Structure 1
């Protein structure tokens, strides 16, 4: 029996769509699960807002500190919402004076759209275009958020003074394997580029003026401490200034004092 080309093409398209969804479930699982949102409203130093991107309304949380202090852009992990950090950053902004913004991932919480690295950075860049006044800019990413912070840095390296990578990765495939061959195969079939190290190594030499802080738990079960050390070494060999902080904890360990430490670096 001869199979029609149109039928083959249909099967290929269906297969690609399923593969795309499987990737999204693995990388952005909160899109497919209901995470608890909080009833947040504007206060003296917290502004709950929305930003329109490609007909999607994306939630934003902005914490107003001292106008002369830096602006921190924070990207959370893949099973979290910006709401989860509201009380931490509200307190820290008041105490330390830093300005902080969190742009929710598309499709997370009550934000429209479908989660992607590209969509997240588009929303963040649009917010910065409308609100950033040119003061010192600090990027901070936790777990999958580290890829978002690095992607934003690559696009805006001249404006960024510090990048904080918390429980992050040099390449998303390190969560699966240490094999170079297998990692290359995984990266070739992922729809978006999560190889953060390669992106950093390709930035202009002037980008090396930006300070990097890598903070990683010695019991991290997702991205090993060894992979974090390798990330640090690769950056330093390429001329980046890296402050490496190893703490006693796993992938999700954190507390108020530790956030305060990072904000004061």
Structure 2
């Protein structure tokens, strides 16, 4: 557990939107005194494993009606990562402490880095990017509707740093220390794909373009003309997954 002002309860309350949602056969992982209720489907020995970090306001259970079958059909194993305080997980959602959970869960899988595919959506891209930094030789990284600058997203939710007994200088230092997205992505050695919608009113498409800029080759970016932050899946479903699986099979 890290002592960071970014773990302040006011930040957690205003930024995260956890909810309880039970599901059958959770894959529990103990991390730093917290029990994370992930979902693990491991039907294909020696196949690559997709590790998915969902968005804010979402939980693992939201994906169980289509993700497991979708990736199973394509012969991939699947780990749906659950955040602390979300779904059936214990603990409280906190920006920095959740970073440590990433390494904990992935290490529990005990699979080679080259068999790992990292995939994050929205807030989940913060943790997918962190995973890419810790596991730089993972096979692939997918960032959808991603966040390049978490400082921007947090600061619009604070009246001033004084509200959390901090200063602009301290916050800047903490964001750089824990969420230097450029540093994390530029260390990644695998292939990468950035997906975003042109009309994302929640996390601007400029974030997606910046993420793409930070990544090394080989990299791809696709900006959808239809849909927004919350409808990118539903509006572009066939095209979305065609692009995704074509990328993974290259």
Give me the TM-score of the superposition, normalised by structure 1.
0.74
1:64/1:99 contact within 8 Å kept: yes
Question: Does structure 1 residue 216 correspond to structure 2 residue 196?
Answer: yes
2:132/2:184 contact within 8 Å kept: no
Q: Report the alpha carbon displacement of residue 29 of structure 1 after superposing the two structures with TM.
A: 2.3
- The runs of 4+ residues in structure 1 deviating greater than 6 Å are none
Residues 79-122 of structure 1 show CA distances to partners (whole Å, capped at 9, x for unaligned) of: 11011111222211331110110221011122111223444343
Q: Report the alpha carbon displacement of residue 230 of structure 1 after superposing the two structures with TM.
A: 3.2
Residues 234-255 of structure 1 show CA distances to partners (whole Å, capped at 9, x for unaligned) of: x25xx43320011121111213
Instruction: Specify every segment of 5 or more residues in structure 1 that has no aligned partner in the other structure, as ranges.
Output: 1-15, 42-47, 178-183
The count of aligned residue pairs is: 226
Which is greater in Rg?
A: 1
Question: Does structure 1 residue 137 correspond to structure 2 residue 116?
Answer: yes
Q: Per the alignment, in what secondary structure is the counterpart of residue 127 of structure 2?
A: helix
Higher relative contact order (CA 8 A, sep 6+): 2
**Which residues of 2 match residues 1-265 of structure 1 at below 5 A?**
20-30=8-18, 34-35=19-20, 37-41=21-25, 48-134=26-112, 136-158=115-137, 160-175=138-153, 185=168, 187-188=171-172, 193-201=178-186, 203=187, 207=188, 209-233=189-213, 235=214, 239-247=216-224, 248-253=226-231, 254-255=233-234, 256-257=237-238, 258-259=240-241, 261-265=243-247
Residues 39-60 of structure 1 show CA distances to partners (whole Å, capped at 9, x for unaligned) of: 424xxxxxx2211123322101
| Rounded Cα–Cα distance in structure 1 between residues aligned with 2:174 and 2:11 | 7
Q: Report the alpha carbon displacement of residue 24 of structure 1 after superposing the two structures with TM.
A: 0.8
State the partner residue of 1:8: none
| Rounded Cα–Cα distance in structure 1 between residues aligned with 2:32 and 2:210 | 38
| Rounded Cα–Cα distance in structure 1 between residues aligned with 2:80 and 2:147 | 20
CA-based RMSD of the aligned residues comes to: 3.0
Instruction: Specify every segment of 5 or more residues in structure 2 that has no aligned partner in the other structure, as ranges.
Output: 156-166
Q: Report the alpha carbon displacement of residue 189 of structure 1 after superposing the two structures with TM.
A: 7.1
Q: Report the alpha carbon displacement of residue 219 of structure 1 after superposing the two structures with TM.
A: 0.8
State the partner residue of 2:161: none
Change (3 A) 1:229 1:240: same
